[in-house]
Structure 1
Amino acid sequence: MSGTALALALVEPAAAQDADGDEVIVVTGAGLDATPAAPAYDTQVIDRDQLVAVPSGRIEDALSAVAGFQQFRRSDSRSANASAQGATLRALGGNATSRALVLLDGVPMSDPFFGYIPFSAIAPERLAQIRVTRGGGSGPFGAGALAGTIELESAGIDALDGFAGQALVNDRGETELSGSAGASLGSGFVVASGRWDRGKGFFTTPEADRAPLSARAAFDGWSAQIRGVAPLSQDIELQVRGLAYRDERTLRFDGADSSIEGQDASLRLVGRGAWEFDAIGYVQARNFTNIVVSSTRFVPVLDQRNTPATGLGGKFEIRPPVGGAHVLRLGVDYRRADGELFETAISAFSGAVTARRNAGGTNTDLGVFAEDDWTLGALVLTAGARLDRWTIRDGFYRENDGAGAPVLATTYGDRAGWDASFRGGLLFRASDRVALRAAAYSGLRLPTLNELYRPFVVFPVVTQANAALENERLEGFELGVDVTPAPGVGLSLTAFDNRVKNAVANVTLDTNLRQRRNIDAVHARGIEASISATLGEVSFDASAAWTDAEAQGSGFAAALDGNRPSQTPRFVAGATLAWRPAENWLLSTTLRHVGAQFEDDLETDLLPAATTLDAFVQVPLTDTIALVLRGENLTDETIVTRNQGGSIDFGVPRTVWAGVEVGL
């Protein structure tokens, strides 16, 4: 959905009238409406019909419908190490940390320690829509919106009333079970949902390179969410959400196991009266474990046994009644991330413990923001500013030898500062069919605790942490046009220029040795295009992005100057054709292409381009039961997800799913 159709995604009003004319309170479970100038920025909406028809059933593949979205690696959330599942936009990647802000019902979802997104915990069938805004932002939690914002909105009782569930199995015997139950309670509602995925996985290692202890990418993960919405008055509603999940994976070798788990809770008050407001508070408890196995002796050499992290935060936004021509937003938000790493190094020859390490710290960000939209007939102007007070403190690194004797104990000096960021734009509706837009913006991202304090190994490469990392800073602008040539048809075209100064990258220092460093910049210039069309029973959605991205480095980073950032393709595109011949029928197919990219900053290890074909079929068998067929990578394209000096991993091979969907 293009920016011109953004208004269609806005929620219902908070009150309606029944047949007798009496006022009835209607809760939506959503946040405040998008402002009039929201379409001034490069925005694309993924609606519920698209979300529930993703051939893989995974949220990261739903997001791939937005050209320019990428994770650090091409692996999906069943066959990736979770710590590599950062989300970014506009080819501003280069490391595993998210440069895009991902919100679920207004709450940041990035892991407090690593910055990755727990994609396996977010089930597409729980969502009403996803709104993706590419380009930096200065509104709520804007300190994380360096490359853009991905807003996930949970579905309400209108979509999840009663019971619904799915049970599927694929050609490798892997299973996917999901279900939800929703009920109205007075004027409010409650929805409980759960999902369980498990399977033996596929071999990520090429057949010629497999050893006796090479293992499939097995996975076993579950997530459960409960959400309640209730009116406190005619204009105010209370939203409560709890999310718990755990995901266990095996990668490459027997015993190379990793896990993530989390428990999130949030409380939200939304007021839709004359003084509109949105108040959110949340708490997150997360953990990560990982065992590294030697690729030559096939025994554990590193046990990252515990990485507890806590996220705390909230926001308050108010919109004073300043007149019909203006929408004014004023607010404050706060985020705190605490975490530490406990790991044990083990000799590959004797099995003896050689070192025990403990590292961690605390990051905080307090931001205040203001933004005003001013409507002047066909022209909408918007301008916003944000001021952040950030701290990086309590950082430490300790290492003992196998006998427990101290080897190294370092504490890092506390740092703090103020940073301002801005954004502004205009939207001009030249006619009923054409809208022109322009925007400029700046943004901020603090380095994560992972980047600051945690070294890691992806054999044979060691990547060191760097407690001296500085904040990243984005400056960018864009020009775009949205065209609606006919009812049900929308086209969008955007040209952009974004530069991330002090970009954090994994910089090669020596053979098999890298360190996280601030390089001069990552500069990305490109074009994004999308089209959506619905013609009777047939719909077509497509998007493409071409980006000229380059790292800019001097001094220690001179060798990578002019190179494309690691893991960054030049061209990505995707298209979905769907046919709905009757109610509850759906046949769709998705073609997606990802261009060639490099594993490393020196452009020595190539990941070839990959083109995949997916399909989704839903056929009703009765009024309440439907047959579901799904196909991933139906042409069995070889997808190289990692290439480090010839040590290669593959992505998902051809996979066919079959099952039933029940709705009562």
Structure 2
Amino acid sequence: MQTNNTNNTNNTNTSVLNKAIIAIAIGLTLSSQQSLAVTADENILITANRSQQQQFLSLSSAYIITSDEIKAMQVANVTDILNTIAGINVVNQGGSGQSSSVFMRGTNSNHTLVLIDGVRVSSATLGSTNFSAISPSQISRIEVVKGPRAALWGSDAIGGVIQIFTKQHAAGEGSVSIGIGSNGFVEGDVAIGLGNEQHSLTISVSSESSDGFNAYHSDPLNDYDINEDDDDGYDRFSISAVGKSEISNTLSLHLASRFESGNSEFDASYPDQPCWNDPATACPAYYANEQDHENYSVKLSSQYQGDNIFSELAIATSQDQGESFGNDTQKSRITTERDQVSFINQYSFTAQSSVNLGLEYYNETVSTNSDLDPWTADIQSWAEDERDVSAVFLQGRHQLGQLLLEAAVRYDDIENLGSETTYNASIGYQLNDDWLVSLNRGTGFKAPTFNDLYWPGSGNPDLKPEEITNTELLVRHHFADNTLDSQIEVTIFDSEITNLIAWAPNEFGLWFPANINAADIRGVEATITADFNRIHNTLAVAYVEAEDANTGKQLLRRPELAATYTIDYHWQDFSFSGMVAYREESIDSGDAKLDSYVLVDLGVSYQATANLSVNAKVNNLLDEEYETALNYLADGTNYKASVTYSF
């Protein structure tokens, strides 16, 4: 059930809903979202229903990556972590610090909602997330929920939701780490916990840089190909502060804040082209080949835990900013600023029944310091540079014996776009303590970006949100005895996406974004974990058919078959880790074929003392030559080594 109302009625609805949210927020001093209430139990899932529940009892396909697993991976990028999950495919245009895209369940790379401590972090102009700006050293855990969750989270949650939680240390505890690697890689991390049991604050600082490598390989048959033969490096600095203050047994205050800045180099120079005003003359075709970014978010919340109620009032502000320059081009800075307010209240009638009521509001503002349309005499910016989004949702859960029921509905009011009503409905049956079967159906949407709607000269203000309807069947099994602890999850899903935005010519031959495409996506995912004799094994396999509904062609950069096996083994003071990943061939622009490939990574960690560990890892051990984006080679065999002192 999705609706899209007219723009004229939308402004009135937005005003009424905004005032209602503000009035309720002012009247409340205690409330909850539970996105920060992460307990020590690694099996507790929060993102799926915006409330705590055992991961095994979740009726949606969900996966948790723990702090220990992230530590064992020894990665420099968040995308390397996500790429080990069934149903996720990562595309890189080069090495670390370069542009990366995350495709979940065959949906587009901007169809996944990304949250950091409950705060939206995507760009409102591009619709994507800068994953290279997130330091893995500051992450305590990652939760991934697959399938549309717009009924709880709103726009962008078409393919799923990724929520990253910032690391916290107990008072007096912390760590210091330094590392080096191939391509001039250098990193340093410091984290410390301050305060006491009632009032605590964790401060983490991370810095890293790399000279990079020349990822782009030119196509000799393309006269308009990039011809910038140089290494593309990057640097990144980040700091986070996460705190909690226990005011009483029932009331607590929370802080989650982060700041990141960095620089990335990339290739963007082309051979001289005919000048637009004099085709007989050759003009240099130089484009910006470097970018600075500066991102931050701050979230303050108050949480109340009563006998049957858990609630939070949260206020957040965030920025996503990128400034492109180089090759004697004008510096061009584009900024997204987002202010958010949420009030969520969960009430438990009994141990088997609960209801979750939420109100949300956020304002998005985009700005630039340059002319977005250089072909005009006047300075041109977006036709609209601000919008308000207001939402209300209701979610309920009930257990009747072995039968589990979940349902959610959400109404989003988006300024100048209209409204969207989305839902999720799930029914599960717990055969016994070890088996769970569930059937899910849900809808989702993605609002067009500011670039799609209002870019000068090419925006289309008549665009509608992209929409998805998804049905899936999930089977989950858990087994544990004195020697083995294992879990198997298999999900079969079928999705239909409509109103997909693509560029097309109008009646005058001018190209504009339009809702002309549709996609049919179906597949099966399986994740198997097994722990025995100090060995942790994970096998993640996905087969996804993602096709253009109009042509039947495979969607770009989405291999049908993907499999990843990871292993961690602990022996005395040593820990060994390994990964084998296979990706089937895929298609890129112009029907170009990207070959299949196999990657092998090996890592080792030695606990020299109770506080000191030495770590080393070799990536792409077989020196596989492959590309996930046309003409962008991935790095060959490379290494990383580090020393960590914990206290």
TM-score tier after normalising by the smaller chain length: 0.7 to 0.9
- Residue 118 of structure 1 aligns with an amino acid whose one-letter code is N
The aligned residue for residue 418 of structure 1 is: 419
Check the 8 A contact 1:588/1:617 in 2, yes or no.
Answer: yes
Partners of 2:103 and 2:558 within 8 A in 1:
no
Pick one of 620, 637, 647 that aligns with 1:654.
637
Question: Could you tell me whether the CA contact under 8 Å between 1:58 and 1:77 is conserved in 2?
Answer: no
C-alpha offsets along residues 56-75 of structure 1, whole Å, 9 cap, x if unaligned? 3321111112122234x334
Equivalent of 2:92, from 53, 74, 77? Answer: 74
Mapped contact 2:205–2:238 kept (Cα < 8 A): yes
- 1:566 aligns with 556
The residue aligned with 1:103 is 115
Q: Which amino acid aligns with 1:193?
A: S
| TM-score of the pair, normalised by structure 2 | 0.82
Query: What is the rounded CA distance, in whole Å, between the counterparts of 2:114 and 2:568 in structure 1?
Result: 28
Question: Counterpart of 1:361 in structure 2: which amino acid?
Answer: D
Within the alignment, does 1:123 sit opposite 2:135 as a pair? Answer: yes
* Matched residue type, 2:403: L
Q: Tell me the secondary structure at the aligned position of residue 624 of structure 2.
A: coil
Contact 1:326 1:373 in 2 (8 A): yes
The alpha carbon displacement at 1:663 in A equals 0.9
Aligned mates of 2:637, 2:643 — CA distance in 1: 21
Match of 2:544 among 542, 547, 551: 547
Q: Are the counterparts in 2 of residues 378 and 429 from structure 1 also a CA contact under 8 Å?
A: yes
Q: Which runs of 5+ in 1 are unaligned?
A: 1-8, 14-30, 293-298, 392-414, 456-462, 554-560
Measured in 1, the distance between the counterparts of 2:81 and 2:154 equals 24
Distance apart, 1:364 and its partner CA? 2.7
Q: Summarize the alignment of residues 280-291 of structure 1 with structure 2, pairs less than 5 Å apart.
A: 280-291=314-325
Question: Per-residue deviation at 1:197?
Answer: 1.4
Aligned pair 1:270/2:270, yes or no? no
> Which residue of structure 2 aligns with residue 411 of structure 1?
none
Q: 1:88 to 1:366 in 2, by over 3 A?
A: farther
- Corresponding letter in the other structure for 2:252: E
**1:165·1:179 contact (CA, 8 Å) conserved in 2?**
yes
Is 1:256 equivalent to 2:289 in the alignment? yes
**Residues 511-565 of structure 1: CA deviation (Å, up to 9, x unaligned):** xx97533234111100000000000211101111111111123xxxxxxx21222
Greater shift, 436-445 or 564-573, is seen at 564-573
- The DSSP-based 3-state class of the residue aligned with 1:57 is coil
For 1:492 and 1:573, locate their aligned partners in 2 and report how far apart those are by CA, in whole Å.
15
1:325 Cα offset (Å): 2.1
Deviation, 1:38, is 5.9
* Aligned position for 1:527: 524
Q: Give the distance between the partners of 1:616 and 1:125, measured in 2 at CA.
A: 17
Alignment of 1:179 with 2:190, yes or no, is yes
Are residues 534 and 318 of structure 1, via their aligned partners in 2, closer, same or farther at CA, if it must alter by over 3 Å? same
2:52 partner amino acid: D
Q: CA separation in 1, counterparts of 2:345 and 2:421?
A: 20
Name which of 342, 346, 359 aligns with 1:315: 342
Structure 2 residue 629 is the aligned partner of structure 1 residue 639:
no
Q: 2:184 & 2:95 partners in 1: Cα distance?
A: 18
What percent identity do the matched residue pairs reach?
18
Name the structure 1 match of 2:276.
none
Pairwise CA distance, 1:494: 0.5
From 442, 464, 467, give the equivalent of 1:470: 464
Q: Who is 1:112 aligned against?
A: 124
The letter of the residue matching 1:145 is A
Per-residue deviation, 1:303: 3.9
Q: Normalised by the size of structure 1, how large is the TM-score?
A: 0.80
Taking a change above 3 Å as real, the CA distance of residues 508 and 219 of structure 1, as seen in their structure-2 partners, is farther
CA contact (8 A) 1:637 1:653 kept: yes
User: For structure 1, which segment, 206-215 or 221-230, has the greater mean C-alpha deviation from structure 2 after superposition?
Assistant: 206-215
- Give a deviation string over 1:96-153, Cα, whole Å, max 9, x none: 5x21111222111212332222323322232332111101114443223111111222
| CA distance 1:353–1:322, change in 2 (3 Å) | closer
Q: SS of the residue aligned with 2:452?
A: helix
Q: CA deviation at 1:287?
A: 1.4
Q: Which moved more, 1:365-374 or 1:205-214?
A: 205-214
- Matched to 1:225, the amino acid is S
Q: 1:168/1:420 Cα in 2 relative to 1: closer, same or farther (>3 Å)?
A: same
* CA gap 1:146/1:187 in 2 versus in 1, 3 angstroms: same
CA contact (8 A) 1:482 1:491 kept: yes
C-alpha displacement at 1:311, in angstroms?
0.7
Cα 1:508–1:629 change in 2 (3 A) is: farther
Task: Indicate conservation of the 8 Å contact 1:268/1:281, yes or no.
Answer: yes
Distance 2:407 2:56 in 1: 9
Alignment gaps of 5+ in structure 2: 1-36, 42-49, 270-287
Distance change >3 Å, CA 272–CA 80, structure 1 → 2: same
Mapped to 1, the partners of 2:450 and 2:134 lie a distance apart of 23
Give the SS at the match of 2:58.
helix
2:646 corresponding residue in structure 1: 663
Q: SS of the residue aligned with 1:45?
A: strand
In 2, the alpha carbon distance for the partners of 1:346 and 1:361 equals 15
Which position in structure 2 is the counterpart of 1:338?
A: 365
Report the equivalent of 2:439: 438
CA change 1:321–1:221 in 2 (3 A) is same
1:125-274 counterparts in 2 under 5 A? 125-158=137-170, 162-206=173-217, 213-252=228-267, 256-274=289-307
Question: 1:355-394 to 2 correspondence within 5 Å?
Answer: 357-359=380-382, 361-391=385-415
Match of 1:11 in 2: 39
Which residue number in structure 2 is paired with residue 557 of structure 1? none
Q: 1:369 to 1:243 in 2, by over 3 A?
A: same
Residue 452 of structure 2 aligns with which residue? 451
Cα distance between partner residues in 2 of 1:451 and 1:161: 49
Read off the aligned partner of 1:11 and give its amino acid letter. Answer: T
In 2, the alpha carbon distance for the partners of 1:661 and 1:34 equals 34
Distance of 2:504 and 2:635 partners within structure 1 = 29
Contact 1:32/1:277 (<8 A) preserved = no
Compared with structure 1, are the counterparts of its residues 379 and 649 closer, same or farther at alpha carbon in structure 2 (3 Å cutoff)?
same
Quote the RMSD (CA, aligned, Å): 3.0
Distance 1:161 1:377, change over 3 A: farther
Name the CA shift for 1:103/1:76 in 2 (closer, same or farther; >3 Å). farther
CA deviation map 1:194-243 (0-9, x unaligned): 11111110111238879985221110111111111111221222111221
Q: 2:167 is aligned with what amino acid?
A: A
